[in-house]
Amino acid sequence: MTLTTPPRATTREWIGTSVLILPALLASMDLSVLFMASPWISADLAPTASQHLWIMDIYGFVMAGLLITMGSVGDRIGRRKLLLIGAVAFGTASALAAFASSAEMLIAARALLGLGGATLAPSTLSLIRGMFHDENQRRTAVGIWTGAFTGGVAIGPIIGGLLLEHFHWGSVFLINIPVMALLLIVAPLVIREARDPHPGRFDLLGAALSLAAILPLVYGIKKTAEDGAGWASVAAIVVGAIFAALFVVRQRTTPSPMIDVHLFARPAFSGSIIANAIVVFATAGMGLLSVTFMQTVLGFAPLAAALWMLPTVAGSFLGVAIASLLARTVRPALLVSTGLLVAAVGFAGVSLVTADSHVGLLIVAYSTLTLGVGMTATMVTSLVLTTAPPEKAGAASALAETSSEFGGALGIATLGTLAGTIYRGAMTANPVPGAENAAEAAGDTVGAAVAAAQELPAEVADLLLRQAFDAYTHGLSVAAVVGAAVLALAAICAGLALRTVTTPQSTSTEE
């Protein structure tokens, strides 16, 4: 047994990393870029409450459903090739979304974007895994990628706000097209192809089972959050669970599995996947609520709201830097648990915000939240990559991204629906006298209440807006309390799951 020093990355690898963070940034931005555009879309396309939620979260759902399949495809046909195919698909879908003329068309375009995003996300992370062999350099590169991916969720509303100040809401999609064109030109020059040298046959049945498991589960949980536990939602969850069990059985018995389910027996892998899903579940759901709160309740224009959101991006990158620095000496269990607890404190701060609060309170609380997210995401992503074998980097990256996208989309659906239910209950319980004709629209969303108030006499409009703002703020506070509780519980569970995991070393062993 001899110790060898892994080869260190060259300038080409670092340039390649800078290229790879672009699609990672855009893939995550598209989870949140519509947050600022939400009021404009509501006014232009007039979606129902259900359609509005589908516009926001179908991208993440479709992406989550296809990530495992696309990660396995990348391992077989080449991760760079899949990246380039994804760039074409993502750019095309962006153009369709930008010029959507109805809610149904925008939902369909967002679904196609999810398909394109599913090819981009696992390719970028798995390529980075193969480009860096030195553990410290890889951790730094993963930290940069994580900063782009987690920061993209926070940057999305800012970019959206800047564009909406001057352009139509469709511009939030058009910005994807030149970036995808740049990726198609530069990626073949600076990024080497990578694939599994012995991939075996593609598991078509496994791919079908994974999709058949995720989509009914997502649908069932979403319907339960919206309408309660009805027979349709429960049946969908049961069907999804059955297909999930069949998928696991298939992966355990097929000679060429899409994923090695035995990886979940390793605490570093399973604990990291779960922690990643939970932190994104909480933060993505809160992102939509917070941005809507700034634009409606606090009355900020898109540009002003975007500028106020800048500290939240800084919080995310600061968390990434802290985790990357401390990971060499601090055990993963302590780092991940601390990150989750910091994020929980941020949620607790959001719950203190009222309709009359200064925007600074929300920004400080949300920046604390993103600080914790940056710390957690960096560490768990690195653990997932280093635990899986290099030849399965695409599938492992896909699992990490699946947990992120599934958690993010589910967070938007669950926390958004929770806040919306509280809002609608408060608005319908005590109708404002003189606003009966606008009551149905105002009771749907806070954005609709703002629009309806413009058609009412000043005194009635003021009463309606006060009721709507108080109702929305109460929903925001309850969702924040739920998020804080989920993250605090996750911190305890992550600490227990990762307690035996040691700090990775920068050397490797050879027989």
What is the rounded distance in angstroms from the CA atom of residue 136 to the CA atom of residue 132? Answer: 9
Using one digit for the tens of pLDDT, what is the confidence trace for 335-347?
899 999 999 999 9
Using one digit for the tens of pLDDT, what is the confidence trace for 255-303?
877 777 777 777 778 888 888 888 878 777 787 788 788 888 888 877 7
pLDDT at 93: 92
Taking phi first (over 0 means left), then psi (-120 to 50 degrees means alpha), and beta for anything else, what does residue 299 get? Answer: left
Q: Is the pLDDT of residue 29 over 90?
A: no
Q: Which H or E run includes 510?
A: strand 508-510
pLDDT at 298: 87
**Regarding predicted confidence, which is higher, 227 or 365?**
365
- Paired sense of beta strands 2-4 and 508-510, if any: antiparallel
**Regarding predicted confidence, which is higher, 206 or 458?**
206
CATH number assigned to the domain covering 9-192+256-503 = 1.20.1250.20
Quickly list DSSP for 365-382.
Answer: HHHHHHHHHHHHHHHHHH
For all residues of the chain together, what is the average pLDDT? Answer: 80
Poorest-confidence range of 40-54, 261-275, 435-449?
435-449
The residue ranges of every structural domain in the chain are 9-192+256-503, 203-255
Q: Is the pLDDT of residue 176 over 60?
A: yes
For the whole model, what pTM was predicted? 0.75
Q: Is the pLDDT of residue 98 over 80?
A: yes
- Give the range with max mean pLDDT: 134-138, 218-222, 439-443, 466-470: 466-470
Q: Is the pLDDT of residue 114 over 70?
A: yes
Poorest-confidence range of 172-186, 360-374, 388-402, 492-506?
388-402
Q: Is the pLDDT of residue 323 over 50?
A: yes
Residues 6+ away with beta carbon under 8 Å from 446: 292, 296, 297, 423, 468, 469, 471, 472
pLDDT at 337: 92
CA dihedral (167, 32, 116, 379) positive or negative: positive
Q: Is the pLDDT of residue 510 over 70?
A: no
CA dihedral 197, 63, 206, 213 (to 10 degrees): 160
Q: Is the pLDDT of residue 349 over 90?
A: yes
Task: Calculate Rg over the CA atoms of the chain.
Answer: 22
Quickly list DSSP for 218-277.
Answer: HHHHHHHHHH-S-HHHHHHHHHHHHHHHHHHHHHHHSSS-SS-GGGGGSHHHHHHHHHHH
Q: Is the pLDDT of residue 1 over 50?
A: no
**Regarding predicted confidence, which is higher, 486 or 302?**
486
- Give the range with max mean pLDDT: 190-194, 276-280, 359-363, 459-463: 359-363
pLDDT at 361: 92
pLDDT at 506: 40
Q: Please give the average per-residue pLDDT across 181-185, as a whole number.
A: 90
pLDDT at 511: 34
pLDDT at 339: 92
Confidence bin at 441 (pLDDT 50/70/90):
low
Poorest-confidence range of 41-45, 208-212, 412-416?
412-416
284 to 151, 268, 287, 296: CA distances (angstroms) = 12, 24, 5, 19
Poorest-confidence range of 1-15, 87-101, 153-167?
1-15
Task: Say which DSSP state 203 is in.
Answer: -
pLDDT at 94: 92
Q: Please give the average per-residue pLDDT across 17-41, as a whole number.
A: 78
pLDDT at 507: 37
279 to 232, 306, 353, 426: CA distances (angstroms) = 28, 23, 21, 29
Rounded to 5 degrees, φ, ψ at 2 are -125, 150
**Regarding predicted confidence, which is higher, 390 or 165?**
165
Q: Please give the average per-residue pLDDT across 5-12, as a whole number.
A: 73
pLDDT at 225: 58
Q: Is the pLDDT of residue 309 over 70?
A: yes
Q: Please give the average per-residue pLDDT across 501-507, as a whole number.
A: 55
Poorest-confidence range of 42-46, 356-360, 472-476, 483-487?
42-46
